Amino acid sequence: MSLKTRKVRIGSIEIGGGLPVAVQSMCATHTRDVDPTVAVARALTAAGAGVVRIAVDSDAEAEALAEIRKQTKGAVNLSVDLQESWRLATKVAPHVDKIRYNPGHLHHHEKDKPTREKVAFIIGAARDHGCAVRIGVNCGSVDPEVTSRHPHDSVAATVESALAHCDILDGLKFDQYVVSIKDSDPRKVVEANRAFSRARPDVPIHLGVTEAGLPPGGVVKTRMAFEPLLTEGIGDTLRVSLTVPCDRKTQEIEEGLRILADVKAGRLTSKGFQIKGLNIISCPSCSRVENEEFVHLAERVVEMAQFAKDSEITIAVMGCRVNGPGETDDADLGLWCGPTHVNLKRGPEKLGSFTYTDVLIRLKVELEAIVKRKGGAPA
Ligand code: SF4
């Protein structure tokens, strides 16, 4: 926690200004399934979540959100995750305490409208309903215009995008915002958040390693980023993103609280740890996940790929079409899930669409070929 950051209210809690770091998670239930979503939101809060996030991508989901709010009001601090549908801000703001938008997703709809106007629309809705806002920058979906200025420096691109949006919000005289800059590489998370914090020591920071993957590896990667940052006083709220099934989402809260306690006690378990050999990244899943098989698929990929554990290869496994296509581009092999089929890629090249069973067979063939090319042992 930083003493220098300003305080931001999110429902019943405040973060920033030296207050305790709030731990967050996200519901992975379908938002339209009101009862299960309410149950997960309550379970996360009971486990210690200060804020619970829910994704909303349609009018129907915004209507479900209103009911979820009715059933959790006063008990859960709700945040909503807007991706491309920024116009939904006015429909969700009456029912939540915080709105997260991704600067890299604003260009998809109404392409001719300037970004500043779209942000002003979101901020207007937030202001009218007393919501906080998170500018949520993600390495896999940075605004293409910003990326074109930093084609080989993703850290510079994410930091520039975050700073530019801070300037927009400052210009709108709105100060109840926080910033997150997430990457699947913990070293980049450290670098980007340090740079941002130096430039804007007043802005509260939400820490996260995106697509950290399955535990226990996902926890280790998260600790590699959080331990140094929290030790330096960077971070006012955090989320540990783990690929776990919906009924085990409270593990994200438990791990987050454990990291905070360990950092406070000086128990820095990730010191000296390096990411070497096979790197499997996978998203934590959320309401957008297209098939509940996703978590099981990620587990089977990890199991199948063990023969390549010493090779410097990255495999990305993503749960949906919203972030899947973009966030698998940088991996040697990428999988993103559809309702019945999984799309397989080699770098940015599409290899085809396979059933959840067959994709493992083709993935193994592709992985063996890369291992061979790199001079490793075959399976
Ligand atoms: S990739 Fe899709 S399913 Fe996975 S966390 Fe991101 S939005 Fe949710």
The whole-number pLDDT of residue 143 equals 86
Same domain, 296 and 212: no
pLDDT tens digits for range 301-351? 999 999 999 999 999 999 998 878 878 888 999 999 999 999 999 999 999
CATH number of the CATH domain containing 357: 3.30.413.10
pLDDT tens digits for range 73-101? 999 999 999 988 999 999 999 999 999 99
Q: What is the position in ligand 1's atom list of the atom closest to the CA of 289?
A: 3
The whole-number pLDDT of residue 20 equals 96
End-of-domain residue from the set 218, 237, 265: 265
Q: From the CB of 54, is ligand 1 less than 6 Å away?
A: no
The domain total for the chain is: 2
What residues make up the domain containing 241?
8-265
Q: Are 297 and 317 in contact (CB under 8 A)?
A: yes
In a domain, 109, yes or no: yes
- The pLDDT of 5-17, averaged and rounded, is 97
Same domain, 47 and 177: yes
Supply the mean pLDDT for the chain.
Answer: 94
pLDDT tens digits for range 23-47? 999 999 999 999 999 999 999 999 9
Q: Ligand 1, atom 2: nearest CA belongs to which residue?
A: 320
Say what the pTM is.
0.94
Q: What is the band of 377 on the pLDDT scale with cuts at 50, 70, 90?
A: low
In a domain, 274, yes or no: no
Q: Are 159 and 199 in contact (CB under 8 A)?
A: yes
Select from 30, 40, 26, 35 the least CA-distant residue to 68: 35
Q: What is the band of 179 on the pLDDT scale with cuts at 50, 70, 90?
A: very high
Same domain, 252 and 105: yes
Q: What is the band of 378 on the pLDDT scale with cuts at 50, 70, 90?
A: low
The whole-number pLDDT of residue 324 equals 86
Q: Give the lowest-confidence range in 45-49, 163-167, 274-278.
A: 274-278
The whole-number pLDDT of residue 83 equals 82
Q: Assess whether pLDDT exceeds 90 at residue 369.
A: yes
Query: Which regions of the chain does DSSP assign to beta strands (E)?
Result: 8-10, 13-15, 22-26, 51-55, 78-82, 98-101, 132-138, 177-182, 205-208, 237-239, 279-282, 314-318, 333-337, 341-346, 349-355
End-of-domain residue from the set 232, 265, 298: 265
The whole-number pLDDT of residue 110 equals 84
**Most informative mutation of 29, 80, 286, 294 for ligand 1 (most atoms within 8 A of CB):** 286
Q: Are 231 and 265 in contact (CB under 8 A)?
A: no
Q: From the CB of 50, is ligand 1 less than 6 Å away?
A: no
* Distance of CA 287 from the midpoint of ligand 1 (Å): 8
The whole-number pLDDT of residue 108 equals 84
Same domain, 330 and 199: no
User: In the chain, what is the straight-line distance between the N-terminal and C-terminal CA atoms, in Å?
Assistant: 46
* Distance of CA 28 from the midpoint of ligand 1 (Å): 9
* Distance of CA 172 from the midpoint of ligand 1 (Å): 30
Q: From the CB of 324, is ligand 1 less than 6 Å away?
A: yes
